[in-house]
Amino acid sequence: MGRVFFLLLVREARLMFRRPGELANPLVFFAIVISLFPLAVGPETQLLRTLSPGLVWVAALLAVLLSLDGLFRSDFEDGSLEQWVVSPHPLGVLVLAKVLAHWLFSGLPLVLLSPVLGLMLGFPAERIPVLLASLLIGTPILSLLGAVGAALTVGLKRGGILLTLLILPLYIPVLILGSGVLQAALQGLPTLGYLLWMGSMLMLAITLTPLAIAAGIKISVGE
């Protein structure tokens, strides 16, 4: 089972690197949204710094959301999902590998880019580790939750809007906690509590969402 998990990761990595344009999409979106804000609101350091927690998180959330619509689409169209469903391996394990690969190539680069964008918005340099930690824990939750919606809507011709409506309510707690950590960091308050809360949400998502994603895929393939 571990072998299939690893092989699926390798397969996804190959597919990603043969289509590098898609790799860059969420990253470019994230960078553009954040760099447009100082231009639109004006270069007042204090204002930008106050806004920065919310800005970084909203931009990251939307970037992940945008990249999710196509998560299972090509696998659905070329019949790969059918092969996953009829394979003797548990579908939950396969989808977990798929989402992990998706996060490694779209979520993780976003996390790595965030310090630069954070500094640009005037986020204090000594608090950058908190920014990194909040996104590092938060973006996998976004990917996992979003994959549930992507699995359910993959069979629909225009699933984009429906996907957004389905998963945005689930994203809100993550958004509140994620930007809450950064607000606390800005005011010099302890942040560990928030991060632990997010960590427990991540654990919950890793254990439960693969089952929901697998069920969603079975429904979509069975239609």
Size of residue set near other proteins by CB under 8 A: 24
**177 is a contact residue toward other proteins (CB under 8 A):** no
Query: Does 208 engage in binding with other proteins (CB under 8 A)?
Result: no
Q: Out of 1, 13, 19, 20, which residue is the one contacting other proteins (CB under 8 A)?
A: 19
- Round to whole Å and give the CA distance between 94 and 1: 9
Smaller CB separation from other proteins, 18 or 40: 18
| 11 is a contact residue toward other proteins (CB under 8 A) | yes
The reply to whether 207 sits near other proteins by the rule CB under 8 A is no
Give the chain's length.
223
Residue (of 152, 161, 160) closest to 221 by Cα position: 152
Q: How far apart are CA 103 and CA 67, in angstroms?
A: 10
Burial of residue 65 (number of CB atoms within 10 Å: 0-12, 13-18, 19+) = buried
Binding mask 57-86 for other proteins (x = CB under 8 A): -----------------x--xxxx-xxxxx
Cα 118 from Cα 58, distance rounded (Å) = 13
Binding site for other proteins (CB under 8 A): 3-4, 7-8, 11, 14-15, 18-19, 74, 77-80, 82-89, 221-222
